Amino acid sequence: MSRKRRIFDINVPDEAVEAPEPSIKSLEEKPAKRGPMASAIAENAEALNARKSAAEAIREENDALAHEFVELREAGHVVQSIPLEDVHTYMLVRDRIPGEDLELEGLITSIRDLGLSNPIRVFARPDGKGYELVQGYRRLSAYKKLLEETGQGDWARVPALVLPGEADIAGLYRRMVDENVIRKDLSFAEMAHAAHNYAADPATEANDLSSAVAALFQSAPYSKRSYIRSFALLLERVGEALNYPTEIPRALGVTLAREMKERPEIAGRIKQDLEGWDNRSIKDELDVLRRHAGLEDFETLSADKVPEPKQPARNKGSKAKTTFHIRSSAGQVKCTAGVGRLEIKVDRDFSSIDRAKLEAAIASLVDGLG
């Protein structure tokens, strides 16, 4: 007996169902799997590209910084370390009067302990043999002194700013004195000395002392230029006989120059009084100058020899001080009157007035008060 096969009912669609072929887009969306070696190679390539981009960025930044550095250096704004032996002082006659510098030791101590805060300024010599000093003669002298005293190579080079361009002698002279004038580091005698050198230098356009002062001290007010001219006359007449010209106060120098114009014989007398007096002090020399200027009565007295003025009896009920303003041909005048004192303030240089005329005016004022 044969078995009958059991037939299952299966619903078969009219058309055979076929699996769709994968599209190109689906292949792109599903990247093929990479092995470990391929992944390592890809990551290494990405790292190399990143490092290359960073290196290019650093190179571009370094190039920009290098260009900026060169521009700043060519403009004279970059401090350079220059051998002392390459810095010369031949082309410009210094504004400092030759002689002992009483303040140099203080500068040396400051540089030794704290370093140089303000570099010297130089320019390249036209002959290519080093540099020529423009500003910083005392700083350069301090470095040379430190090298001489210590023998250490640290002081064999000095920080410097190298000024750009070709040598303009007139402009360099002005640079040399301007810094010291602004800082009030030059005496009137040294400024007059610089003006003499400027006028004598054939590389400048100044034909006389007056034009030299006007060109060299353009930043100074007119009154200061007038004082410099007075000191220039003083140095011209008796400069070679003086040991301490930088110690002469402004009022004394201006008064003495005025007296020399009126009485030229004073110059010869001053030279005669100082001749052979090698061991004289600053006070000794100034006393001689004051005597010939007619100022010895009140300038040379020391504090312990000046008698205290007697205070006049004060009237009861009187004010200790009275202040008022008046108008004059010289402008507004501020007056302060007190016991034993009468003060007058006006925009005028009384030291430029002839002494005899000034004394007569003050005597007339006091006598007129009764």
In the predicted model, what is the mean pLDDT of residues 296-311?
A: 41
Lowest mean pLDDT: which of 20-34, 111-125, 191-205, 316-330? 20-34
Is the domain covering 65-167 a CATH 3.40.50.720 domain?
A: no
What is residue 211's predicted lDDT score, i.e. its pLDDT? Answer: 85
Residue with the larger pLDDT of the pair 223 and 43: 223
How much of the chain is in helix, strand and coil states, percent to nearest 5? 50, 10, 35
In the beta sheet, which residues pair with residue 225? none
In the predicted model, what is the mean pLDDT of residues 42-65?
A: 77
Which of the four pLDDT bands, split at 50, 70 and 90, describes residue 304?
very low
What is residue 56's predicted lDDT score, i.e. its pLDDT? Answer: 79
Inform me whether the pLDDT recorded for 351 exceeds 50.
yes
CB 188 within 8 A of CB 248: yes
Which of the four pLDDT bands, split at 50, 70 and 90, describes residue 306?
very low
| pLDDT per residue as tens digits for the range 234-260 | 998 998 899 989 889 999 999 999 999
- Cα separation, 343 vs 199, in Å, equals 41
User: What's the pTM value of the predicted model, to 2 decimals?
Assistant: 0.44
- Cα separation, 76 vs 165, in Å, equals 9
- Which residue do the tokens 């004022």 mark? 365
CB 351 within 8 A of CB 336: no
What residues does each domain of the chain span?
A: 65-167, 183-302, 323-351
- Cα separation, 356 vs 360, in Å, equals 6
| pLDDT per residue as tens digits for the range 54-104 | 777 788 777 777 766 666 666 666 788 889 999 988 777 665 555 566 667
